[in-house]
Amino acid sequence: MRFAHLECADAARRQQMREARCHAGKVVAAFRRIDTLARVSRWVEWHRSYEDVESPLARRLVIVQRDIAAALSAAPAGPIRIVSMCTGDGRDLLGVIADHPRGRDVVGRLVELDPELAGRARAGAPAGIEVVETDAGTTAAYAGAVPGDLVLACGVFGNISLADVERTIATLPMLCAPGATVVWTRHRSAPDRTALLRDAFTAAGFAEVAFDAPDGSLFTVGAHRLVPTRCRSSRASTCSSSRASRRSPRRARSAASGTT
């Protein structure tokens, strides 16, 4: 009987330990969720700067929307597919297509992790614009939505490491249709890395369409177009065109210099 009593006591202690570990796990999970929500929801607060029309964020928005409108105006007839990374409440795009002559041609996907901002974007998005609440840093977020004719990377490059910025730019051609425009933003806080970003776009096969760095502000807005002959997609015809175009300048230089 004494051994049976000890076995029961030991079993009770083991059960108490299991319950304590389970409770501790739930507490840790709860704190992790609180921390995640706190980090995500700070972007809701960040968006309030748009309400001040003189704020750098509101001034940046004007330039971003100008570049979006220009890309829509230059797009060929037919649907214009949009992909927006870290879209926030989507005001940069949605504020343009509401009045733009090509607005009804716009279809695509806006990607945003913050649930409140994603909800706002979804509420304002017209038919044909899908808002997905997920991490924009994963390629899975864009499955079925690419290639895009206009890719927005606004508010992205200033919030990730320089190495991640360079990797993202190198990956952008996979999200773009030939001739697509990418509109992006980045701050100029020391050390100013915008020159490196512009070089990275060139190396990835893009041509610069616009670059704004207003005096008295730290923000910059860039627009780059993916040159079809340098598109790094898997399309054989595109790659062949790229190789041919790269050979032609060499032949021209040889003829001009008298070499063979």
Confidence (pLDDT) at 9: 52
* Candidates 3.30.70.260, 3.40.1180.10, 3.40.50.800, 3.40.50.150; CATH matching 56-226: 3.40.50.150
**Residues 215-236 pLDDT 10s:** 999 999 999 999 986 444 444 3
Q: What integer is the mean pLDDT of 96-119?
A: 96
Using pLDDT thresholds of 50, 70 and 90, give the confidence band for residue 10: low
* Tokens encoding 188: 């100029």
Is residue 256's pLDDT more than 70? no
Higher pLDDT, 256 or 93: 93
What are the helix (H) ranges across the chain? 2-46, 56-74, 91-97, 115-124, 162-175, 194-203, 236-257
Distance between CA atoms of 93 and 106, rounded to whole angstroms? 10
Q: Is the peptide bond before 191 cis (omega within 30 degrees of 0)?
A: yes
Lowest mean pLDDT among 25-34, 179-188, 214-223: 25-34
Is residue 241's pLDDT more than 60? no
Distance between CA atoms of 11 and 24, rounded to whole angstroms? 20
Q: 162 and 193 in contact (C-beta within 8 Å)?
A: yes
Confidence (pLDDT) at 198: 98
Which among 224, 47, 63, 59 has a CA at the least distance from the CA of 151? 224
Using pLDDT thresholds of 50, 70 and 90, give the confidence band for residue 51: confident
Confidence (pLDDT) at 49: 73
Confidence (pLDDT) at 247: 30
What angle, 0 to 180 degrees and rounded to 10, lies between the N-to-C axes of helices 2-46 and 115-124? 50
Is residue 42's pLDDT more than 80? no
Q: 85 and 243 in contact (C-beta within 8 Å)?
A: no
Higher pLDDT, 215 or 3: 215
Is residue 201's pLDDT more than 60? yes
The secondary element (H helix, E strand) that includes residue 149 is strand 148-153
Confidence (pLDDT) at 16: 57
Lowest mean pLDDT among 29-38, 198-207, 246-255: 246-255
- Share above pLDDT 90 across residues of the chain, in percent, rounded to a whole number: 65
**Residues 129-151 pLDDT 10s:** 999 999 998 889 999 999 999 99
Confidence (pLDDT) at 48: 79
Distance between CA atoms of 82 and 72, rounded to whole angstroms? 10
Q: What is the DSSP letter of 189?
A: P
Confidence (pLDDT) at 78: 97
